[in-house]
């Protein structure tokens, strides 16, 4: 075998980031798997890791988790090697969210491609002497193709049956049957749903309701919060699951705990301060969760407008937000996970009975990028009456332009959306149609209670 230059020339930190990339980026591992040789590493621990990662990926077509590597390592008889591998894994873990992983991956691809071409040239020397030019061409062609992307796409005629399998669009539903009917079951892998409302109307409560509904259905949910801290968001979920108003939770902790113990799904809440996280930050955290054995079925992001754009050549707000939403949908597609987020509506939308697309703040690209967009309108009277109007602005899966009356209680996160012609729907619509009278009666009752 031809002598090879070691990756050691790039340093220990570079190699740790390379191992991190192999554990967190499926596309990269798929692309480099057949040209990255364990012999390119000088460390026996790194050689072991690369060999095991490649073997697992070839067999299962998935990235190995740290648990998989730990179990495999337990059968290794060499104690010194075991200790070294554990240390190298710890170093790799520290770099799971490194900002320069793309650079490391690019340099590694270049290194491996160059090695393959050098091997082909050296092997061609003997073939030139024998006049076997066809073999030379084959060697060089294979070397030039090394490290190319493997997935060419959906082969239309060959994949007919796959299009009609139940898993072709495996959806995760919402808590509202009417919305699930409109979306043909909810959001599917890689799809983006957006809730639009002015400030203080209840966007965060709607997102928490969607997350809670998924947890009740046994799904694994990760909720990213960029405004409220994780403990406060946790309390909101406590309210949604238990039905107790936020301010009363502390008086019913035993009952709340009992209700949470009955849940089948999982919920992880991750807080990033406003404008400190980008879509890439979210992606790195997602991959870290998956690598650590925490699968994700639904992403809740509260909310995308508060993410930081990493494109330094864009300064206009509308372009920045457009980039963020496009990157977010791309992230959902890369991980094949449905994603729900929210967006601000203009201040003028506070006075609207129905919030349409033109009321979305700053960038229409949000509408263009999303698969499903629904607005929530609640005027002052609605807040007193616990009513609201959900309007479907965009729907790639069925009809849009429809409006539904709703019961919206932001004390405990209880949200119900109704068909307009149902008994409950007519009741909520009646409250909204006669809002002034309803508000007068409510205030009179409160005055009486206080007296």
Q: Which residues are CB-neighbours of 292 under 8 A, at least 6 positions away? A: 65, 66, 67
Tell me which residue of 393, 394, 423 sits closest to 407, measured CA to CA. Answer: 423
* Rounded Cα distance, 115 and 2, in Å: 9
* Rounded Cα distance, 241 and 232, in Å: 14
pLDDT of 1 = 40
Cβ contact 85:71 at 8 Å: no
Q: For every one of its 451 residues, what pLDDT tens digit does the chain have, with 9 covering 90 and above?
A: 444 567 888 888 999 999 999 998 888 888 888 888 898 888 899 999 999 999 998 888 888 888 889 899 988 889 899 999 999 998 998 888 888 888 999 898 888 888 877 777 777 777 677 766 566 666 566 655 555 555 556 666 776 676 666 545 789 999 999 999 999 999 999 999 999 998 888 999 999 999 999 999 999 999 999 988 999 999 999 999 999 998 999 999 999 999 999 999 999 999 999 988 999 899 889 988 887 878 899 999 998 999 988 776 666 777 788 888 999 999 999 889 999 999 988 877 887 888 888 877 666 778 888 999 999 999 888 888 899 999 999 999 999 999 999 999 999 999 999 998 999 988 898 888 876 666 666 666 666 666 5
Could you give the count of Cα atoms lying within 13 Å of 327 in the half-sphere of its Cβ? Answer: 20
How would you write the chain as a 3-class SS string?
Answer: CCCCCCHHHHCHHHHHHHHHHHHHCHHHHHHHCCCCCHHHCCCHHHHHHHHHHHHHHHHHCCCCCHHHHHHHHHCCCCHHHHHHHHHHHHHHHHCCCCCCHHHHHHHHHHHHHHHHHHHHHHHHHHHHHHCCHHHHHHHHHHHHHCCCCCCCCCCCCCCHHHHCCHHHHCCECCCCHHHHHHCCCCECCCCEEEEEECCCCCHHHHHHHHHHHHHHCCCEEEEEECCCCHHHHHHHHHHHHHCCCHHHHHHCHHHHHHHHCCCCCEEEEEECCCCCCCHHHHHHHHHHHHHCCCCCCEEEEECHHHCCCCCCCCCCHHHHHHHHHHHHHHHHHHHCCCEEEEEEECHHHHHCCCCCHHHECCCCHHHHHCCEEEEEECCHHHHHHCEEEEEEEEECCCCCCCEEEEEEECCCCEEEECCCCCHHHHHHHHHHHCHHHHHHHHHHHHHHHHC
* Rounded Cα distance, 334 and 126, in Å: 44
Cβ contact 367:377 at 8 Å: no
Neighbour tally for 424: CB within 10 Å: 14
For the record, the structure tokens of 224 come out as 């990213």
* Rounded Cα distance, 20 and 378, in Å: 47
* Rounded Cα distance, 70 and 61, in Å: 19
Q: Is the dihedral of CA 206, 211, 214, 216 positive or negative?
A: negative
Neighbour tally for 93: CB within 10 Å: 18
* Rounded Cα distance, 326 and 279, in Å: 10
pLDDT of 334 = 87
Q: At what angle do helices 66-74 and 44-60 cross, to 10 degrees?
A: 110
For the record, the structure tokens of 77 come out as 């008889």
Cβ contact 146:112 at 8 Å: yes
Tell me which residue of 378, 35, 59, 16 sits closest to 199, measured CA to CA. Answer: 378
Backbone φ, ψ for residue 98 (5° rounding): -60, 145
Cβ contact 332:299 at 8 Å: yes
pLDDT of 153 = 63
């Amino acid at each position: 075998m031809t002598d090879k230059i070691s990756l050691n020339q790039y340093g220990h930190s570079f190699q740790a980031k390379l191992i991190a990339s192999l554990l967190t980026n499926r596309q990269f591992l798929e692309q480099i798997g057949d040209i990255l040789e364990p012999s390119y590493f000088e460390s026996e621990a790194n050689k072991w890791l690369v060999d095991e990662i490649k073997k697992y990926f070839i067999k299962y077509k998935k990235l190995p988790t740290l648990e998989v590597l730990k179990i495999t390592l337990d059968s290794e008889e060499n104690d010194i090697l075991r200790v070294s591998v554990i240390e190298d894994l710890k170093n790799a873990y520290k770099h799971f969210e490194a900002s320069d992983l793309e650079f490391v991956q690019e340099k590694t691809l270049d290194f491996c491609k160059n090695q393959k071409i050098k091997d082909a040239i050296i092997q061609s020397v003997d073939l030139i002497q024998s006049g076997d030019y066809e073999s030379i061409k084959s060697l060089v062609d294979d070397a030039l193709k090394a490290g190319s992307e493997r997935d060419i796409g959906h082969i239309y005629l060959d994949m007919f049956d796959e299009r009609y399998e139940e898993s072709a669009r495996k959806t995760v539903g919402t808590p509202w049957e009417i919305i699930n009917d409109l979306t043909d079951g909810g959001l599917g892998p890689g799809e983006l749903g957006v809730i639009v409302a002015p400030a203080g109307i209840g966007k965060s409560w709607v997102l928490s309701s969607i997350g809670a509904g998924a947890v009740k259905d046994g799904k694994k949910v990760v909720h990213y919060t960029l405004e409220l801290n994780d403990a406060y968001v946790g309390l909101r979920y406590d309210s949604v699951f238990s039905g107790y108003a936020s301010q009363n939770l502390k008086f019913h902790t035993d009952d709340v705990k009992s209700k949470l113990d009955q849940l089948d799904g999982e919920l992880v809440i991750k807080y990033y301060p406003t404008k400190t996280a980008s879509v890439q930050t979210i992606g790195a955290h997602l991959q870290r969760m998956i690598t650590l054995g925490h699968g994700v079925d639904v992403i809740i992001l509260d909310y995308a407008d508060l993410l930081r754009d990493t494109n330094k050549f864009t300064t206009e707000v509308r372009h920045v937000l457009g980039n963020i939403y496009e990157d977010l949908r791309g992230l959902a597609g890369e991980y094949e996970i449905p994603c729900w987020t929210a967006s601000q509506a203009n201040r003028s939308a506070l006075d609207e009975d129905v919030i349409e697309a033109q009321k979305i703040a700053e960038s229409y690209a949000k509408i263009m990028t999303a698969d499903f967009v629904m607005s929530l309108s609640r005027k002052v009277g609605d807040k007193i009456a616990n009513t609201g109007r959900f309007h479907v602005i965009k729907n790639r899966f069925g009809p849009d332009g429809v409006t539904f009356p709703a019961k919206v209680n932001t004390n405990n996160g209880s949200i119900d959306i109704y068909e307009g012609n149902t008994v409950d729907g007519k009741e909520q619509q009646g409250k909204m149609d006669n809002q002034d009278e309803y508000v007068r009666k409510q205030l009179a009752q409160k005055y009486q209670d206080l007296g």
